[in-house]
Each structure stands twice: as C-alpha cells, then as structure tokens.
Chain A
C-alpha cells in the first residue's frame, strides 16, 4: 500500500489552483484512499469539493447517508464539502453535473479493470475524459515495485512532473501552472513525442525545431528556479508518453486534449483517453477548448 503522504508533495509543487472540484465516488473507496485524494486536491488549491454519487437505477437512502458520512469526514474549515446524488449514466452525469455546478476540475480515483470487464462494460475513466470539457484529474495509486513510481526507495525520482507537449494551445493553459509550481518542484520534465520526418535532412530540421521549442518552454519554467529537463521522442504519442512515464518515474503526468471528429478517433478513442488509462501515474488532462481557456483567463 502506498503511503498517504507520498502523493501530496507532487501536487503541492504542481500548485494548480482549482477552486471547486467534482469528486465522483462509487462509495467503494476506502477512507485512506479518499484521504489521499483530498490531500491531492487541496494541493490543487481546492476550496470546495462536491462529492457525487451516481447510480444507474434508483438511489438507496443508505447511499445518501454514506455519502454524507464521507463529506463530514473530509470537511475542514478551509474546505467546504457538499454532496449530490444523481441517477443516470455515470460518465455523462458526471460531465453534466460538473458543468452545472460550475466546477473547475473533475477528479476521481482510477480503478484497474480486467480486459473482460473493459470489453463488457467499458471504461468510465475513458468516458469521462472523452465527455468532459473540464480539466480531469485521474488519481492513481503507484504500480508495484516493478515500476518505481511508488517505490519508497526512490522518492526523489517519484517527484517528477512530466508535461507532454505538442507546442499547441494546451501550453498556454499548462505552462503558467508549471511555472508557478516549479518554485519548489524537484524535477520537471518536458517531453515532446512526434513522428519521424520523411528523410534524414528533414528529420535533422525537425529535431532542431523541437529542441528549440522545448528549450523555450523550459526557459519559461526555469524562471521560477525549478530543475527542468527536456526530452524529444519519436513514436506514437499514446504509447511513447506512457513508456516515458514509466522510464522517468513520473509522479504526475500532464497532457493536453483536443476533441477530434475523425471517425477513427471516435472508434478507437483519443490519445488522451488511452494515456489516462494506461499511464503508471496520476494524470491531469487539460482540454484545449474555449471553455477551459476562458475559465483560466488565457
């Protein structure tokens, strides 16, 4: 079991400010897990947490009571907590409720499902990532010792925040956060994953261009004194980003998300959905939508 204190420094360093956070609960979460998530959300600057329980059928009175108990357990003087119970499809109800309640972030714990479970009932994680226009934080407990993210022996490595950039709109939303967070952050890794250019000469130009852009972003983040590393990788983003998260013992992975109307994406799911599901660490997905940009004054 991962120690409760382990996750919080990463988010304190990340220092992303989200006032109101929607936290959907299945009510199967342990109180220790809930405590760790709330600690993480406080690090994001949460001042209000909306606990939501969604049932596909009628909601039993006992569930409402359980939710109230959870709310009282996590309430603090600086952290208001209220509860909501809804019935309907989990993912769409979460997305709708978040918008309706004026939330800044949807956060939820990630639960591993077997291949058969995923095939039969799908993945709520992926559905929420797909449906929401708000930033989504997928909280994950670290994998076993084969993946050093959560290994107690490597706490410094585990403090790495990795931002996978494509040098597009999400930079404008994410970089200010990274910059403010990096004052005390241990390690910030900026990576870019792209396809190889068609020939060696063009590839040389591509590599130089990518490195220049990474250096520019790194410089912006270094202004606050953080240790910033950059890395350029060739490959498919959905697999290469996850691989880099493993290799670099990443604590929090930050990625952008753009809605695509391509039929193949609709069928196979977006890169962000796949990364959110497969990454070995917690993932913050920042959508590149007018909604997000307006909300964050970009």
Chain B
C-alpha cells in the first residue's frame, strides 16, 4: 500500500516544499536557481545540443529503420484517434500556448537583440530572427518528445507495462523499476511537469489578461491575472472530469481549426506575398543549415546568445518532455512507429513554421517595410506583443478576441492534459486515474501558479523545472537505448513467429518459438 502511493506522496511533499520556498523566499530562490541554471547551461549546454541532435537521428532511424512497421499496440490494432484528432492533441499539448506567446515576440526579440556578430534591426537580423525561431520550434522539440512518447507507448501498449517512464527501463534494470530507482525517475518527471505547467499557466494567464485589457475596458495586473487563473482552472477541471475523448480531444480539434483560421486571416489581411516569401526562404535555410545549427554552440562569438536562447529552449523542451511524452503516448495507441514518428515530427513542425512565418513575417514587415517601431515594445512586454501587432492590421479587435479564445482553450487543454498525466504518473500508470488525484494535481498546479505570481517566484520555479533537463537528458538517452534493445529483442526472438495476434495484445506480447534466447558470445 505504501509503495502504491509512494510516487504520489513523495512528489506532493517535494512540490509543496519548493512552492513553499518560492512563496516565503522568492528572491533567495531566484538567486540560487539562477546560479545553478547558469552553471548547468554553461557547463552542459553542449550536451543538450548533442543529445537533441541524437534524438533527431534516433527518430529518423525509428521511422525509416527496421522497426518502422512495429505497431504501438498489437499487430492488428487500429489507431484510437483520427489523424486530425491526433494532430490536434499533439499540437495542443506540445506547443499551443507557447506558440501564441512567442509567435511574434521571439522573431522580434532576435531582430532587436541578435548575437554580437549581427547588426541589430537589420535585414540580416530579420532573416536570422525568423530562421532561429523556426529552428527553436522545429523538429528538435518534437524529436525530444518522440523519444519519450515512443518509448512509453511501446512499453505500455505493445509490452503490457504501465504507462510510466520507469517502465521503459525494464530492459536495462529489470525488476529494479519497481524500487527506489524507478520511483526516483517517476518523481523527477512529476516534479518537472508540475513546475513546468505552473509556470506556463502563470505566463499564459498574464498574456490572457494583457489581451483582455487590450479589447475590454478593464485594468490588467495581478488581480485580473488571478481571476483568469481561477476561471481557467474551473474550466480545465471540468474538461478533466469529462475525460480525454470528450474533453481534450474536442477542445483541441476546435482550437486547431480556430488557429488555422486565425493564421489564414492574418495571411490574407497581412502582407501575403511578403509572408510567403519569408516562409519559402526560411524553410530553405532551415533545411540547408539543420545539421550545422543543431551542433552550433557558437563558442567564438555569440555564445551568450546561444546560451540564453537555444540552450534554454533545448533544456525547456527536455524538461517538458515527460508531460508531453506521456500525453502523446496515451493518444497514440494503434499507430505504427513510422506513422507515429513522421506524423509527430513533420506535421506539427510544418504548422509551427507557417505560424512563425505568418506572425513573425507580419511583425517584421511593420518594422522593415512600414517603418513602424514595434520590436522594442514587443520585447518590453512579451505577453501583449501579438496584440500590439494586430493593432496595425484590419480586424484587430476580432483577431484579439479570437486569440484570447485560442489562448484560453490552449491553456485549458495544456492544464487538463497535465492534470491527467500527473494523476496517471502518480497512480502507477493507471490510464483512468482516480478523480481525486486529478483534482489534487489540478488545484495544486493552479495554486502554485497563482501564489508564485503573487510572490514573484514564478521564474525561479521555471528554472527549477528546467534544471530537471540535466538528469532527464541522461534518462532519455538511456530510454532510447532501452527501446532499441527491446525492439531488437522482439525482432530477433519474437518476430520470426509471425505477427502478434489480436489476442496477444497488451498483457500477452508476442510469444516466441525461437529456441535461442539472448545472444552471443559471437562476433
């Protein structure tokens, strides 16, 4: 009984402890986490780049290698969700809210404050800005998520193990996944998810408040932000109670349609040809420089910029991966490895590229072609940057209103899926976790976001979440190794007996008729 709730209880205590420190001593926490974060990025940043690139290679190998046809479930299983439903949920969990937050602010920030070797606010800086926005939000984050989600999906849906990160370590550490080591991995995942989602909620609420202040006669500020958090919390708790199929799926599908509509509207109302030029040029540059940028730490010039942007992002994606990975795994049952990898790698990345081309292109058009100085304002107040840009295009009020809806729904789907994932992780991988655990985590993450917003400890907590990226990089490299071991075992010792039957699903993976188990000694 004690071990049944070990992950839940220990995680809860740890989270409460750190939130308490964030409330009582926000400045001290800020200083300490800031120093640790700087040290980690300065010392191990190269490791994040290498690992992320390795995950891209690994994902491509999974898609085009000998395991591409393996199904995440039994061999005759059909995917649980349609492509559109699946893509919508992928996008909502993986990017959604962040993309709206940074869609305008990131290109403008790079344009205004590029690395030392590029002249700020120049044409070169604009090209660099969009190119690096593509790069930061392109295939790398999705490759990171794929390593996590593919491993979890394989071990849970094909091998009949609980959908937990620790399950992926069975080939490497065997029964020890049910002991302290396994618990530690799962607790670390809970820790990163709670703080990651709490900070996202805090920042997202600030953006919603900023948007509301732009279209309604209300004053922004902490009070309004807290009300936004409270309202959204009620909404995502309702969504969470309704369940995955009706809740997150419906909201995600609706939201992706709204996002596509908003993007199309901006494309039409904005400088269409300019945006398409930006898209085409940057796609070319992205593909041409993918390998060099993937491994470019810029040690000779612009290293500080790389540390504060690229390495920060990579650490962020890695720390975010337990949550997105578990959620994506839970909606991907029945897909083959190939369609899973290609779908998760290509479609969200393409949509993201188009998003940045449209909103980044429209904002840079204001700066470069119309002489409107918007970059400084956008960088000074990131949450309202998007609304600032709208003001210079037709239909600004309508687009702001739609964006607020979009933001709120992405907010709800992110928080809802995080609540679900946290409850699942702390219920030994139960795919239908108890309601009380969902409520506990839902209330806790929103409360954490609210009180830390008040105390000013939100960014410190974000850095705490990002610090989890360091151990998680190692965890993910080991997960990739474990997954390869497992798939190779299946191919060598189980697949020769033919595909698995529908009856051999989850709890009874493919039976082997091969006489030889294990391998070697051989060359």
Contact = CB atoms under 8 A, between A and B. Distances in A.
Given A166-B516, A213-B516, A200 B521 contact: no
A257 B516 CA distance: 16
A205 B518 CA distance: 12
Interface stretch (A64-72, A139-147, A190-198, A223-231): A190-198
Interface stretch (A36-44, A91-99, A269-277): A269-277
Nearest to B512: A205
Contact of A257 (B155, B175, B522): B522
Given A194-B517, A213-B516, A202 B509 contact: yes
A168 B519 CA distance: 9
> Taking each of B161, B507, B519, B522, which has the highest tally of chain A beta carbons within 10 Å of its own beta carbon?
B522
B516 A198 contact: no
Contacts of A164: 521
B174 A196 contact: yes
Interface in B505-523: 507-509, 511-512, 515-523
Given A199-B509, A205-B512, A209-B512, A260 B490 contact: no
A198 B159 contact: yes
B511 A205 contact: yes
Interface in B12-32: none
Contact of A258 (B172, B486, B518, B522): B522
Contact of A198 (B171, B515, B518): B171
Given A200-B170, A201-B508, A272 B519 contact: no
B493 interface: yes
B515 A166 contact: no
Interface in A211-263: 213, 232, 234, 237-238, 241, 255-260
B520 A197 contact: no
B81 interface: no
A134 interface: no
A177 B515 CA distance: 22
B477 to A, nearest CB: 17
Interface in B101-135: none
A-side binding surface: helix, strand, loop or mixed?
mixed
B221 to A, nearest CB: 53
Interface in A144-193: 164, 166-168, 192-193
Contacts of B517: 167, 192, 194, 197, 206-207, 209-210, 213
Interface string B52-66: 000000000000000
Nearest to A255: B521
A238 to B, nearest CB: 8
A203 interface: yes
Nearest to A168: B516
Nearest to B167: A199
Nearest to B523: A270
Given A199-B159, A201-B160, A201-B509, A206 B521 contact: no
Contacts of A201: 160, 507-509
A271 B519 CA distance: 11
Nearest to A258: B522
A89 interface: no
B497 to A, nearest CB: 12
A200 B522 contact: no
Nearest to A233: B518
Most buried by A among B486, B494, B519: B519
Given A206-B493, A209-B517, A213-B515, A198 B486 contact: yes
A288 interface: yes
Interface in B478-497: 485-490, 493-494
B166 to A, nearest CB: 13
Given A199-B161, A201-B509, A166 B175 contact: no
Given A200-B175, A202-B494, A234-B174, A271 B161 contact: no
A206 B517 CA distance: 6
B160 A193 contact: no
A88 B435 CA distance: 77
Contacts of B172: 196
A10 to B, nearest CB: 20
Contacts of B509: 198-199, 201-202
15 contacts: A166-B516, A166-B521, A168-B522, A194-B519, A195-B519, A198-B171, A198-B489, A198-B509, A199-B159, A201-B507, A209-B512, A213-B516, A241-B521, A265-B523, A271-B520
Instruction: List the 5 closest pairs (A to B, CB-CB), nearest first.
Output: A194-B518, A270-B523, A198-B486, A237-B520, A199-B159
Interface of B: 155, 159-161, 170-172, 174-175, 485-490, 493-494, 507-509, 511-512, 515-523
Interface of A: 164, 166-168, 192-203, 205-207, 209-210, 213, 232, 234, 237-238, 241, 255-260, 265, 270-273, 275, 288
